[in-house]
Each structure stands twice: as C-alpha cells, then as structure tokens.
C-alpha cells in the first residue's frame, strides 16, 4: 500500500473534500502542523457565492509541470493535488507525468457546464478567476481603447466569454480519455456533489484507505454538502434556460441567471447548439425571459 494519494481534476470538483477526509478521518498519520488543526475548519461558507470555499492548507498542490515532476521528499503520508487543465502546459504532458503515479483519481464533470460553475463558485483566488473568467488577451478586438477585460462593456464581455469558454466543451472528453489511458480512475463531479458519501467511500476503497473516525467522516461530508445547494440551483437554472430555448417553453417565466458567466453559457448554447446569433451590440442587460431573448435573435 502506498502512502501517496494523487488526486486531480478541475478546481472545485471535490479534490479538497477528499484531501480533508483522507487527512483527518483515515488511519494514516499526517503532519499535525498542517492548517487547520480542527477538520471542521477546512471549509467556510462564502457570503458572495453561498457555497463552500476551502480554507485548509493544501498539503502538496502541483499546478505547474515543474512541480508535477518534482520528487516526493519523504515517505510520510501525502495527498498530492493536481489541476487539470494546467496553465501553460499541454494536457498530454500532464497526464504523461501522472501516469507514473497510477492509479490516481481523476474527477471531471460529464457536463462541462457543471465544471465551469464549480470553478467559479469554489475558489476566491483572483488569479484563477481572472484567468478563466476575465480574459484580457484579445480585448482590443472588441474595443481598441480597452486594456483589460473590465474595460469592456457588459455585452462585449459576455460575447467574448461565450467563445473563450469553448475549450471546456471541446477538451473535456479528451482529458477524461487521457486520464484513463494514463491509469487514472475516473469519478464524475456530478456524482461527488449528489452522492457524496457513497462516492467518497468508493474512492477510499479504491485507494485502500481505512477510515478511523466514521463520525467525523460523515460529519465533514454533511457539512460540505449542506452548502452546495446554491451551486446545484445555479446549474438547474441554466438547464431550465436550455430546455426552454430548445422547446420554446416558459416564454414569460423569469429564470434567474446570477452572473455574466451564466449569460455567456446561454449565448454559447444559442450559437453552437441552436445555430442562433444574438444582436449583442448594446445588450448590456440580459433578457429575463425566453420571450424577451427571442426579440434579439438575428
């Protein structure tokens, strides 16, 4: 049995919960100096997103290829978390390295929209949020006077994002296949959020980890899961929009979309899946109903 447990996937997919469970509820003896001392302080509720935000100190986070290749310094129990996709690194190189540590756990959503939502609501890291949801590389294509994403009008930001997030939809299946080919074991983000205890126990069994504290195991999961309802509600609101647009239902029913990103997801759905372009120029206030939105179809 190994003392190294490699867990990879997108930000917010459940990696931090798994690390907390392994460190605090298993029979393994982890470094007691890691923060927090109290396992119930591993997460806190974000007032902004109304979801759980990790606050614990990650034992061994590897978000660059250089770190991914670095040796493990000792034989003590260790949870290694790896982000995929990894900035500035091709995914095949990431999974090639991960293959040296198989079997590793890979967590990925079946629906890329679910991944996008969990990333946005499960981190407060400004660098991560800016890189994924406020891209600035091509802002001058929208406004010659703009230098960063925030300089654009809201309709320009939405249009830019609706194309920028495309790589989640294009590459998700490819990442999953790469993980399987490299010896990874795939678990879906949706199952972790909806069948949390069952999936976490399955991962413990697969990694041959014994649970020392059953009460803490179930309590930590319950605490984490209680505050995921807002995230699941957001996902359902986007699915309601998609169903309504596809069947032209709920014309006058207001379905809340509470972020620019979610509006961009709907705009991408119209363009990619339904072949509909919007007259976006000046559309800073996104329509609240399907009927209102249809008035902007080209």
* pLDDT 10s digits, 77-105: 999 999 888 878 888 999 999 999 988 99
Return the DSSP state at 57: P
Q: What is the per-residue pLDDT for 21?
A: 94
> For residues 85 and 119, is the Cβ–Cβ distance under 8 A?
no
Measure the CA–CA gap between 13 and 106, rounded to whole angstroms.
10
Measure the CA–CA gap between 217 and 231, rounded to whole angstroms.
22
Final residue of a structural domain among 228, 258, 279: 228
Q: Is residue 149 part of a domain?
A: no
Q: What is the per-residue pLDDT for 290?
A: 82
Q: Give the residue carrying structure tokens 């891209």.
A: 135
Return the DSSP state at 251: T
**Co-location of 81 and 203 in the same domain:** yes
The contacts found for 109-112 with CB under 8 angstroms, 24 or more apart, are 109/10, 109/13, 109/172, 109/188, 109/189, 109/190, 110/188, 110/189, 110/190, 111/190, 112/168, 112/169, 112/172
pLDDT digits (tens, 9 = 90+) for 153-178: 999 999 999 998 888 888 888 999 99
β-bridge partners, 54: 43
Measure the CA–CA gap between 215 and 51, rounded to whole angstroms.
23
Q: Is residue 90 part of a domain?
A: yes
Q: What is the per-residue pLDDT for 119?
A: 83
b/e burial code for range 94-124 (CB count within 10 A of at least 16 → b): bbebbeebeebbbbbbebbbbbbbbbbbbbe
Q: What is the per-residue pLDDT for 134?
A: 76
Q: Is residue 159 part of a domain?
A: no
Maximum C-alpha span of the chain = 63
Q: Could you list the residue range(s) of the whole structural domain that residue 247 is in?
A: 233-294
The radius of gyration of the chain from alpha carbons, rounded to an integer in Å, stands at 21
Measure the CA–CA gap between 267 and 258, rounded to whole angstroms.
14
**Co-location of 115 and 244 in the same domain:** no
The pTM of this model reads 0.86
**Co-location of 58 and 101 in the same domain:** yes
Q: What is the per-residue pLDDT for 86?
A: 84
**Co-location of 222 and 238 in the same domain:** no
Q: What is the per-residue pLDDT for 203?
A: 95
β-bridge partners, 188: 108
Cα-based distances in Å from 154 to 94, 134, 236, 259, 286: 35, 12, 24, 11, 9
**Co-location of 107 and 214 in the same domain:** yes
Q: Is residue 138 part of a domain?
A: no
Which residues lie closer than 8 Å to 287 by C-beta, 6 or more apart?
293, 295, 296
Final residue of a structural domain among 228, 254, 274: 228
Final residue of a structural domain among 177, 209, 228: 228
> For residues 16 and 43, is the Cβ–Cβ distance under 8 A?
yes
**Beta pairing, strands 60-62 & 78-83:** parallel
**Co-location of 240 and 110 in the same domain:** no
Q: What is the per-residue pLDDT for 257?
A: 77
How many domains does the chain divide into? Answer: 2
Q: What is the per-residue pLDDT for 88?
A: 80
Q: What is the per-residue pLDDT for 219?
A: 93
**Co-location of 74 and 182 in the same domain:** yes
Which residues lie closer than 8 Å to 18 by C-beta, 6 or more apart?
7, 79, 105, 200, 203
Which residues lie closer than 8 Å to 260 by C-beta, 6 or more apart?
154, 157, 158, 161
Residues of the chain with pLDDT under 70: 1, 35, 37, 45-53, 123-131, 248-253, 298
**Co-location of 27 and 61 in the same domain:** yes
């Amino acid at each position: 049995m190994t003392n190294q447990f490699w867990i990879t996937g997108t930000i917010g997919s459940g990696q931090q919960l798994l690390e907390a469970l392994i460190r605090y509820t298993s029979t393994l003896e982890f470094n007691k100096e890691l923060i927090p001392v109290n396992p119930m302080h591993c997460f806190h509720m974000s007032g902004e997103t109304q979801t759980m935000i990790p606050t614990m100190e990650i034992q061994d986070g590897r978000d660059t290829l250089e770190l991914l290749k670095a040796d493990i310094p000792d034989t003590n129990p260790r949870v290694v978390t790896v982000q995929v996709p990894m900035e500035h690194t091709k995914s095949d190189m990431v999974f090639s390295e991960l293959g040296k540590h198989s079997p590793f756990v890979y967590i990925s959503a079946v629906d890329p929209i679910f991944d996008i939502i969990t990333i946005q609501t499960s981190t407060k890291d400004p660098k991560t949020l800016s890189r994924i949801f406020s891209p600035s590389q091509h802002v001058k294509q929208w406004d010659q006077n703009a230098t960063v994403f925030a300089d654009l009008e809201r309709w320009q930001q939405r249009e830019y994002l609706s194309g920028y997030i495309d790589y989640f939809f294009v590459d998700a299946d490819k990442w999953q296949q790469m993980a399987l080919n490299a010896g990874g074991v795939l678990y879906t983000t949706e199952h972790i959020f909806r069948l949390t205890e069952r999936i976490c126990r399955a991962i413990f069994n697969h990694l041959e980890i014994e649970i020392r504290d059953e009460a803490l195991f179930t309590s930590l999961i319950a605490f984490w899961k209680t505050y995921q309802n807002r995230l699941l509600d957001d996902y359902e609101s986007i699915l309601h929009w998609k169903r309504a647009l596809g069947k032209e239902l709920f014309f006058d029913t207001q379905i809340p979309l509470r972020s620019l990103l979610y509006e961009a997801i709907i705009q991408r759905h119209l363009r990619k899946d339904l072949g509909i372009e919007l007259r976006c120029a000046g559309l800073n206030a996104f329509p609240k109903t399907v009927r209102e939105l249809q008035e902007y179809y080209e």
